[in-house]
Structure 1
Amino acid sequence: MQSLWMGCCAAVAAIVFTASAIADQSATDDPVHAFDHAMLSIFHRGQDALTAETRPVMIIARDVTVMTEDGEASYPRDAPTYQHLKSTSHVVLGLIGAVTPWPDENTDDERWKAEFSIIINEIDVFLATLGGLGMTEGDLASQRKMLETARAFAQGALDKDQITREAVSQVINDMRPIWAENMEKSARAELNALHSAVSDARAAISEEEWTKMYVVHHGGSSVKDVNVVLLYLQRVMPEKVAAGQVLFAENAHGNDALAGYAGYVRMQRHVGAWVFGDPERMRVDLLGYEAGSILDEMIPAPPPKPTD
């Protein structure tokens, strides 16, 4: 049996190796691909070198971490109140998720019932542990009230075997005052923790290091108008925001990847400056302007609709 297994493994390995060799040979035989690969490899090596020298860099993720040429120093960003109140408030998201898409009355869609049963069970488990989270008496009472309101609604819907949009809207309205209170307290807890960590990090950095430091936040800036961390950074380091030294890395995970994002942005600015004389040019798709003109030719605009 062992020899048979080893033989199978060898056969599979040979197949994989052969496929890989064919793919490599195909790439080598394609002069366009080979040239493109060579040029991009050089480009990426330059970007890697630029990333390596992008120090110091401040990473704002779970903690605030300053990465220098000599190592890393992390400053805790603990905010239990923020996590507790935010997580409890997510009961509203659970209710919305359970009725989305809205159940079709003409089918035997049982998903909302299963989800409501889960919500009830999770609330029961959570309520049993809520008192041990170290909340104030006021916060504890508010969270219990919100959770019990959601539980009573879910149980009532199951008992009636019916839900209506009006009933869902009403229970959300009933919980909204506590939700709003949670948001205010969560924001305060998050900002206090962030400000403490950033202040400690800043105090340990020389003025020279601070001037050249990039700040990378782990999180997307998809909320363009009111982003908590961006609002904070605009208040405490407006000169860095204006200079383009504050970056949002939506899809980077881990300190090395976040630091690498700073190198990526710097490389894109080098390309814009060298080719167009504008460091920010690569924020626009390289083919974007040309594509707009071509689309004007390809797809003529329809005549405007008549107006009253």
Structure 2
Amino acid sequence: QTALGAYHQGRQTQFERTSPIIVVAGDELILRRGGADTRERYTPPLYHQLKSIAHLALGIHGAVRPSVGRPVDQALRDRLAALRSKASVVAGRLGELSLTPTQRERQRRFLETSLRFMDGVSAATTVDEAAVREYGRAVVPLLLANATDAARGQLDGLHELVQRWRSQMTPEEWQRLYVIVLGPKTPRAGNVQFEYFAYALGREAVDKRVIYAEGIVDVEGGLRLLATLIADRAAARDLFAEESRLERDFLADGAQAHLLKLFGKTGSD
């Protein structure tokens, strides 16, 4: 058996003994406990309704920003017409959505402001940067209010499910629970699900038992990352007396010394 083969076998053995694990995969949580997986959704419809409406602002900006300072051509007018058509449909169906009166009025204001801006751009000869920013300043407070409501709804759903699962665990299981949050790079800072588990398990668990799997969007990929972290941390503790040593480049120390020499930041050997 090769050295790497022995490592991979040991990693798998250690991982198979790891339980429980929660993987956050978009709208779903997957609980792996005692060799069995349980998968449940936790995000309420309100979250998706508010998120879908808010995406209109990004669509409008994506359409007009490349044309700032340039003539308004037919291609831009066509893109805005398509967005306008969809926004008009949503505006006419706000009464069908599960919104409070305050939320419904907020969506109406956002959609009316967006429709008015698109009409103004389509009627203009050039795209004015000041007008784009004025639109942004007008709708951002509405979008942030939507974000607050969406976050509250998602967190409430997440909390209900996690606490239900926690009630089925022993205290010892909860203390050794690992959480893997799957997601791309851009929403990492302040990620709602990551922050929830940082509160639920304690800040001392961050990056130890609560792990953001940046750039990984599939459950098996997240579990492979966890298996690697568990094995590498055990090896780092035993071999280097530094648990996180294998979470940075193994060559880093020697490379840093040589880089200082290459760029004249230190003396010769």
TM-score tier by shorter-chain length is: 0.7 to 0.9
Normalising by structure 1, we get a TM-score of: 0.76
Gaps of 5+ in 2: none
Match of 1:271 in 2: 235
Match of 1:64 in 2: 29
**Mapped partners of 2:168, 2:66: distance in 1:** 51
Match of 2:15 in 1: 51
Gaps of 5+ in 1: 1-34, 302-308
CA shift in 2, pair 1:176/1:253, >3 Å: closer
Q: Provide, for residues 182-237 of structure 1, a one-character-per-residue CA deviation record: whole Å limited to 9, x for no partner.
A: 12211211111111111111111112322222111222576565332233222221
Q: Please, which moves more after superposition, 161-170 or 124-133?
A: 124-133
CA contact 1:57–1:68 (8 Å) conserved in 2: yes
Instruction: Indicate yes or no: 2:48 matched with 1:83.
Output: yes
**Mapped partners of 1:242, 1:175: distance in 2:** 35
User: What amino acid does structure 2 have at the position aligned with 1:143?
Assistant: Q
Q: What SS does the aligned partner of 2:96 have?
A: coil
Match of 1:92 in 2: 57
CA contact 1:64–1:201 (8 Å) conserved in 2: no
Shift of 1:43: 2.5
Shift of 1:94: 1.4
**Mapped partners of 1:234, 1:248: distance in 2:** 11
Match of 1:4 in 2: none
Q: What SS does the aligned partner of 1:59 have?
A: strand
Shift of 1:155: 1.6
Instruction: Indicate yes or no: 2:87 matched with 1:140.
Output: no
**Mapped partners of 1:297, 1:113: distance in 2:** 58
**Mapped partners of 1:100, 1:261: distance in 2:** 38
CA contact 1:57–1:214 (8 Å) conserved in 2: yes
Shift of 1:242: 5.5
Q: How does 1:53-202 map to 2 (within 5 A)?
A: 53-61=17-25, 62-103=27-68, 105=70, 112-202=76-166
Count of matched residue positions in the alignment of Structure 1 and Structure 2: 264
Normalising by structure 2, we get a TM-score of: 0.85
CA contact 1:221–1:227 (8 Å) conserved in 2: no
Match of 1:227 in 2: 191
Match of 2:6 in 1: 42
**Mapped partners of 2:225, 2:82: distance in 1:** 40
CA shift in 2, pair 1:297/1:115, >3 Å: farther
CA contact 2:233–2:246 (8 Å) conserved in 1: yes
CA contact 1:56–1:68 (8 Å) conserved in 2: yes
Q: What SS does the aligned partner of 1:73 have?
A: strand
CA shift in 2, pair 1:100/1:44, >3 Å: farther
Shift of 1:285: 1.4
Q: What SS does the aligned partner of 2:126 have?
A: coil
What's the RMSD between the two structures over aligned residues? 2.7
**Mapped partners of 1:60, 1:294: distance in 2:** 41
Q: What SS does the aligned partner of 1:74 have?
A: strand
User: What amino acid does structure 1 have at the position aligned with 2:30?
Assistant: T
Shift of 1:55: 1.8
Match of 1:28 in 2: none
CA contact 1:98–1:112 (8 Å) conserved in 2: yes
Match of 1:306 in 2: none
